[in-house]
Structure 1
């Protein structure tokens, strides 16, 4: 096929399809041509150099589909483009900029959803991805319909100020998440600057240091003994094992090794991505035995999903605790605010102070590696300390149930004989 031909409508429409795409140029109009693709498409194009010298980079602009645009109309467009080039213009660059401007005018919500789909979901753990989605969808909802390239530092600062009224930690977390989103958007060309970069953190995030006393733990344990109370059972299991909230509430029955009295957490479910075996005390095994309901998750809803109404359930538990307090002292005040994570800190503190458990054993017990087992020690010392951890959990079981006024004959202590406990769990 010759490179240059005299264009007619019939000739352009019948250019042959080949295995590779190729271009044919019009003899009458310099730079005006047709590209023919293996798929059968034929498109009018205009070719030029973006500059006066012969070394200037070559550019090509697509004019339109041969089937939809007449030859003379396409030729007029090519001549208009030639005029722009003669005046020093660069039609290809201008077209790209116009497309970029159009993309950047998309609403904040569209870019947010693209960020969640393309960056967050493939890279982050499901729980973390869900938190990103919650923050960007609900906390920054006022920005949803604003053109993305018009979101300013003032907009971000104003949104963060409103979030800070709910809590400093929440605001600082929200700032980190939206900063990551704008960094990603900048990396893919959706914005030139990150408006979050020069905003100030909401304030110092003060770490919680609440350690519940044994009396407080005993009250909560007793209040959580209501029959068929999924949340209460999970809270007691948290207290007995000292593990993380997500690990307990998302725990499947398949992770429980009743014969070995172990809860075997796989690496993909732990924060540090290391498998973790948790020795199960008699009371912990008894809780698991009571949760045999035919659903995959130990502490699931009636529909088999992860228990999610934590705040509402926590308020009910607090009310039950206060009821127990006022049965003894009608003028009793509610317990100072406590969280589920405080139970983990309380386990660590009392295991060391009350039971004399060594710190290395405690760190192995809660699968924590940044302290004694951080650095070179964590690399070379892989001793599981299983015997010591089992003794610690059994001693903690006795101390906690005693604080709850249950003793060895209490509701949780089905039996201290591991064989009978295993049979009950089956």
Structure 2
């Protein structure tokens, strides 16, 4: 009985010269056009029925596509027909999928997802997404390989002066998205990044040192004693949180998201996890006597809960609103920012005490020195910082109205 499938052999296919269609069975044919001695005259063809009509599907030239490869392509197309898929349409869709370049928005979302495990916190991830979606709208749906310098300058220029810090971060994030798209093969490897600063955008936009970076409005440290007297007259969780923030020179988010599992009252110590710190490392905060009093006063609010927040908000399990302390300051008629109290602390440490600069900077969880200095200096100067924070707490403690606030000096040039 004659074979109805796989009729050809590799040697036999190579020897065929006669023009026409030579069947391998199952709808597969080696087609020879004209002189069969020319390689470009041989090609594979698959014939099949689709919705009552005969269709022809080219499978490539022979011998570039071997007999075995042609049979595999035929079998896959045949299976598609049995499954109710047009193999020609399916191949075109697959080809378009491989060739389609993602939009800038798709590339941005892919990068944010890829960086998921590297975020310090959910807020940082949200800032990335919000910044890109807000300012890159004009080219959000443009293929990422078509984003040019004009589009990027157009997004940056309106905020380059008015929102200098946001603009600088936005430029870096756009550059990162385009770099990631290049690494994924969507942009030629030798094509320069249009969002790069040095030698490119620095020629089109004001240089960083000319930008006006806003400072957080701060209260002078000499006024803090009177301010805290007023603050203690406020019956609110936000008031206790704000005084605690002032006493610890901490950031707003560090205080609002603070949990009891981070507090060691017996050691008078608060250990902020690296995941919640701007510098990405654990920060140990020595607690003054007044800071401990505040914690003991507020502790009953969270009794019976598992790893509760120290300063809970109105909703169960939720921290204080990001605006709680800001609104409190407004109600008190004080035109300063919450973050500005860190500046007041730093001015006090530098102007009114003899504590070494490194001690004050460590209290603010700032990273100082070059990498070599950081490698050798592994201590966080906790003992010195404990002295500094007690000095600070005593300085801002409300005084009788007729008592002047005198500077509280420590010996200058103390070793750290």
The normalised TM-score by structure 2 is 0.67
Aligned match of 1:260? 267
Deviation at 1:183, TM superposition (A): 1.5
Measured in 1, the distance between the counterparts of 2:166 and 2:125 equals: 16
CA contact (8 A) 2:250 2:342 kept: yes
Measured in 1, the distance between the counterparts of 2:229 and 2:70 equals: 77
Measured in 1, the distance between the counterparts of 2:275 and 2:117 equals: 15
Matched, 1:116 2:133: no
- Change in CA separation of 1:210 and 1:300 when aligned onto 2, cut-off 3 Å: same
Give unpaired runs (5+ residues) of structure 2: 10-22, 33-41, 47-56, 404-416
Give unpaired runs (5+ residues) of structure 1: 13-24, 35-43, 52-57, 78-91, 323-334, 408-426
Aligned match of 2:343? 345
Measured in 1, the distance between the counterparts of 2:298 and 2:338 equals: 20
Map 1:75-224; keep pairs closer than 5 Å. Answer: 99=97, 101-104=99-102, 106=103, 108-118=104-114, 120-126=115-121, 127-164=123-160, 166-192=162-188, 193=191, 194-197=193-196, 198-199=200-201, 200-201=204-205, 203-204=207-208, 205-207=211-213, 208=215, 212-218=219-225, 220-222=227-229, 224=231
Matched, 1:65 2:77: yes
CA contact (8 A) 1:255 1:263 kept: yes
Measured in 1, the distance between the counterparts of 2:384 and 2:242 equals: 24
Q: Could you give the per-residue CA deviations for residues 14-41 of structure 1, whole angstroms, max 9, x where no partner exists?
A: xxxxxxxxxxx7556755389xxxxxxx
Q: Could you give the per-residue CA deviations for residues 363-407 of structure 1, whole angstroms, max 9, x where no partner exists?
A: 333333414xx5555434444543332222111111112369799
Q: Could you say what secondary structure the match of 1:288 adopts?
A: helix
Matched, 1:317 2:359: no
Measured in 1, the distance between the counterparts of 2:206 and 2:62 equals: 52
Q: Could you say what secondary structure the match of 1:353 adopts?
A: helix
Deviation at 1:155, TM superposition (A): 2.3
Which of 394, 397, 410 does residue 393 from structure 2 map onto?
397
Aligned match of 2:25? 8
- Change in CA separation of 1:170 and 1:382 when aligned onto 2, cut-off 3 Å: closer
Q: Please provide the CA RMSD for this pair.
A: 4.2
Measured in 1, the distance between the counterparts of 2:400 and 2:167 equals: 37
Q: Could you give the per-residue CA deviations for residues 316-360 of structure 1, whole angstroms, max 9, x where no partner exists?
A: 4134134xxxxxxxxxxxx4xx44333223212212322332323
Measured in 1, the distance between the counterparts of 2:98 and 2:364 equals: 50
Measured in 1, the distance between the counterparts of 2:401 and 2:216 equals: 26
Which of 336, 359, 362 does residue 360 from structure 2 map onto?
362
Matched, 1:301 2:297: no
Measured in 2, the distance between the counterparts of 1:96 and 1:361 equals: 62
Matched, 1:32 2:44: yes
Q: Could you say what secondary structure the match of 1:190 adopts?
A: coil
Q: Could you say what secondary structure the match of 1:122 adopts?
A: helix
CA contact (8 A) 1:250 1:306 kept: yes
CA contact (8 A) 1:26 1:32 kept: yes
- Change in CA separation of 1:269 and 1:28 when aligned onto 2, cut-off 3 Å: same
Measured in 2, the distance between the counterparts of 1:381 and 1:165 equals: 37
Q: Could you say what secondary structure the match of 2:391 adopts?
A: helix
Q: Could you say what secondary structure the match of 1:298 adopts?
A: coil
Deviation at 1:195, TM superposition (A): 3.1
Q: Could you say what secondary structure the match of 1:396 adopts?
A: helix
- Change in CA separation of 1:383 and 1:98 when aligned onto 2, cut-off 3 Å: closer
- Change in CA separation of 1:181 and 1:276 when aligned onto 2, cut-off 3 Å: same
CA contact (8 A) 1:223 1:317 kept: no
- Change in CA separation of 1:377 and 1:163 when aligned onto 2, cut-off 3 Å: closer
Measured in 2, the distance between the counterparts of 1:201 and 1:50 equals: 57
Deviation at 1:209, TM superposition (A): 8.2
CA contact (8 A) 2:355 2:388 kept: yes
Deviation at 1:307, TM superposition (A): 3.7
Q: Could you give the per-residue CA deviations for residues 247-301 of structure 1, whole angstroms, max 9, x where no partner exists?
A: 2232211100011111122334334444332111122112222333226222342
